[in-house]
Structure formats: C-alpha cells, structure tokens
A and B are shown apart, each in its own frame.
Chain A
Amino acid sequence: MARENSAYWNPILETLPRERLQALQLKKFARIFEWAYTNSPFYRQLYKSAGIEPGDLKTLDDIRKVPKIDKGMLRDVQSRAPFPYGDILAVPLSQVTEFRQTSGTTGTPVYQADTWQDWEWWAECWAYILYAQGYRDTDRLFLPFGYNIFVAFWACHYGAEKLGCEVVPGGVLDTEARIMKMKELHCTAFGATPTYVLGMADTARKIGIDPRGIGIQRITCAGEPGASIPTTKQRIEDAWGAKVYDHIGATEIGAWSYSCTHQRGLHVNEAFFLVEIEDTETGEIIEEPGRNGKMVITAFDRIGKPCIRFDSKDVIRWADYSCECGRTFRIIDGGVVGRADDITKVKGVLLAPTAIEEVVRSFDELSDEYEVIVTKKGDIDDIALKIELKPGMEDLKESILARLKDELRVKTNLGYKIEVHPAGSLPRYEVKAKRFKDMRKH
C-alpha cells in the first residue's frame, strides 16, 4: 500500500537514528576508500605513502588517519599524464561520460570527470534537495543559466526531471527573454545564484513586469552564500514574493547540503557525504556547535574521480538547533560563512566578506550591488566600499552613509571609505559575483 511521505525523498535514510547513520557512514567510507586504493593510481600512491590501506578503517575516528586532498593537488594531478585528468581516475577513461570544470575563481580550473553512474548520483543528490524544498511533479522549473562546461544547475535539471518536474532550460536566452518566458509559461520555480536572482528582479521591473506577479513560488539558490545571509534572503523573497532556499555543492564534491521548507540552516546529506569540520589552526576536529572551522568532505559514492577527505577551505559551523522537519542529518548554521582563504586580515582585523554583504543588504535605501576593494598604501591597509543609492534616495545620502558606517563598524570592526556610485553603474553578474577584491595580493 502506498504511503504518504510528502516531507522526504527517502523517509528511511533521512530519519535514520544517528547510531545507524554513523554505521552506514563508516561502511560507505571504507568502501570508497578501498575503491580508490584499488583503482586510482593517484590515491593508491597517496595512501601507500601514509601507510594506510583497506582494512585499517574500523571506526569513524580511523578516518582521520586518511590523508586529505585539496584543490592544489587536483590541479597538479591533471597537469600530468594521462591527459586530461592525470592518474586520478578510478575507472577507464572510456567510462567517463561527463566533463565539467570548476569556475577557476581561486586559480586554474579543475577538470571533473564523471561516469554515467556518477551523473545519476548527482541527480539523486539533487532530488533530495529539491524534494526537501517542496518541489513536486506539479512544478514547472525554469533554469536560467548558460548550459556549458560549469556544473552550475546541470544536475539540478536532471534531479528535477527525476522527481517529475517539468524543466524549462533557459540556456542562451538573455535576461529579459528569460523573464518573459517564465511569465509566459507560468513557471512555479527557478534556480540561480542569489546575485542573478536579484538582478533578474531588477530587469523585470525595468521592462514593466512585477516579479511578484509572475507566480514563482520557490527559488533555489546556489553558487554563493547569499540565500543563507538573512538580509539577502529577505531581499530576494520580497522581490519575488517566493520562498528562497539554499543549497551548497561544488564541482569536485557534489551537491551535499540543502535547506528544507522550514528554512532553518542547511541539512548535510549524511547518507551520501561525510562532513568533518576542522579547526583552521590546529586541525582538531570540531564537533561542538557554533565554532567555525574549515570543511573536509567525502563523497561516498562518486566513483569516476573520487572525492575523499577533500579540504574544501569552506568555513562552516554546526548548528546548535534541530529542524522541525524531522531529518536526523546534522545541520550547518548560516551556510558557508566564508572561505579559509577568503577570510583575511584587514588592518589587523579578521574579515569575512559575507559580514559586509549582510550589512549592505540590510539597507533598503541601497541597491543590490556593491563592491569592496582592499588596497595597501605603504604598510597601511585601506578598505573601500562602493555602493549605489536607489533612485530617490539622494537627499538622504548623508544620513544613510552615517548609519552604514556605524553598522559596518559594529559588525566588522573596521572603518570604510564609502563611495557612492550612480544606480546601475556597478558591475552586474550572471553567475558568481566578484564583489570582494583584495588588491594587496596583486
């Protein structure tokens, strides 16, 4: 007899008692470790050098003995033979059916190979996400991104198909055409970076379409932390009259985390991934809630180019609350709160760029765009914030700037040189925005 389990894609795994879940994680970690050891020359060499082999992993604590990998190692390996992935693959090249690459935000792009099974797995991970966010087979989902070498929303497309949504690919259309197509087709949902979601709302208004009137009920964001920054999320929800959900994933990892309809933190899909949080200074594993550390992550079931204990540099923290949805998966609070290599010292103060975004987006008088530029004059750091006032706010400029400076000082402990630019003059982005520019590194 069919059961009604409307809250979960997989009611068994998503509500598994912690003890069972951890037993499953250990079994799956040992399996992917053995797979990589046996089939990937790169991993075998790495593990042999560390003196660890299949059979050594008997407890979850044993996993800490497994060497980590990072993006630099992935870049190195692909620069070696055989072309184009080096010797990291754990399957013959003939089994690779998908090529994607990272965006190159932090350096040379990393090539990613996936088998068809891996691609099914990507879609499966996305099915967990979308189902938790209320997507059903009655949804018509518009995907306004360039279908190209970046994974972006590709797997979302296949995950949505898997759960029965009607998917509209908004590939090469420009922003205006995408908005008109969404309106014409009465789309119920779409997915994009927070930056582009806000930009689309702007464009809609410019062409005389109220985004709130299109009928969008839910928006899934990815690629940037915005949907987990309360003030940005609120802006998006106000602009579209829709619920906004976050998801975190990466080309080298997979789609590993998602907010559900309760919008409280992001659930880690612990049946498919192992997330460890490490103290950035000591490497100690952080189990307690509320303490920031960098994420080390394993994808249990990705076989073509395995991802085992990948030091992602993403800074996250465990939540000190549970979610009413009933999932037993652990929750991370506030999404990715920064990157270990982004959190930088300015004038001796640790600064996470997301803190600036949170303040800027809390000012209704400011447009959605801003830019932060850090420079060095002699030995002294200088930080400038470029903003746009919304039309009609010019008369209030001085009081707005005074409040903004105060708020920034409180939230980031820094004083900023604030530059006001004409509305619409700062760069707009379709995918990942580059609003934080540290010129001291150039």
Chain B
Amino acid sequence: MERDYDLKGMDARIRELRKTAEEVRELAQGIEAVTRNADRLLASVKMMELNLCDLAEVAL
C-alpha cells in the first residue's frame, strides 16, 4: 500500500511546513502569541513526520 501514495511528495511538503513554522517563530522575535502558536503547529507537524516522514527516511 506504501507504493500507492506519493510519500516523497508528502515528505517534502511536510518539511516545508516545518521550515515555514520555524521561520515564523524566528521572525516573531518573542511575540508570545506567535511563538506559542508556532510551537503548537510544530507539534502537529511532528505528528505528520511520525506518520510519514520517518518511513520515507528508512531505506527500502
């Protein structure tokens, strides 16, 4: 079933999500309303990494 999905495509976009959230967090320069929500967003991104990206990194 793994081959039925574009795992690499999803992996790449999830990495972009992480990068974007981390950049927003950095740009916020300590604005709590941004950094705390970015942290929550990153926790959700992590769940997608656990569900997909970890596997993409395991060689066939």
A interface vs B, CB < 8 Å? 3, 10-13, 15-16, 20, 23-24, 27-28, 115-117, 119-121, 124, 271-272, 301
Asked, given contacts A121-B47, A124-B47, whether A12 binds B52 with beta carbons under 8 Å apart, the answer is: yes
Instruction: Give the residues in chain A near B4, CB-CB below 8 Å.
Output: 3
B20 sits at the interface (CB 8 A):
no
Please give 4 more A-B residue pairs, beta carbons under 8 A apart, in addition to A15-B1, A27-B54: A11-B1, A11-B5, A116-B43, A119-B43
Contact of B43 among A10, A11, A120 (CB under 8 A): A120
Asked, given contacts A20-B55, A20-B60, whether A301 binds B39 with beta carbons under 8 Å apart, the answer is: no
| B59→A23 contact, CB < 8 A | yes
B interface vs A, CB < 8 Å? 1-2, 4-5, 7, 39-40, 42-44, 46-47, 50-52, 54-55, 57-60
List the 5 closest pairs (A to B, CB-CB), nearest first. A117-B43, A120-B43, A15-B1, A23-B58, A124-B47
| B54→A28 contact, CB < 8 A | yes
Name the prevailing secondary structure of the A interface residues.
helix
Contact of B40 among A24, A27, A116, A272 (CB under 8 A): A116
| A12→B2 contact, CB < 8 A | yes
| B58→A120 contact, CB < 8 A | no
CA distance A124 to B45 in the complex (A): 12
| B39→A121 contact, CB < 8 A | no
Contact of B55 among A24, A117, A121, A272 (CB under 8 A): A24
| B50→A124 contact, CB < 8 A | yes
The residue in chain B whose Cβ has the minimal distance to the Cβ of A15 is B1
25 interchain pairs (CB within 8 A)? A3-B4, A10-B51, A12-B5, A12-B7, A12-B55, A13-B51, A15-B2, A16-B55, A20-B55, A20-B60, A23-B59, A24-B55, A24-B58, A27-B57, A27-B58, A28-B54, A115-B43, A116-B43, A117-B42, A119-B43, A120-B47, A121-B46, A121-B47, A124-B51, A271-B50
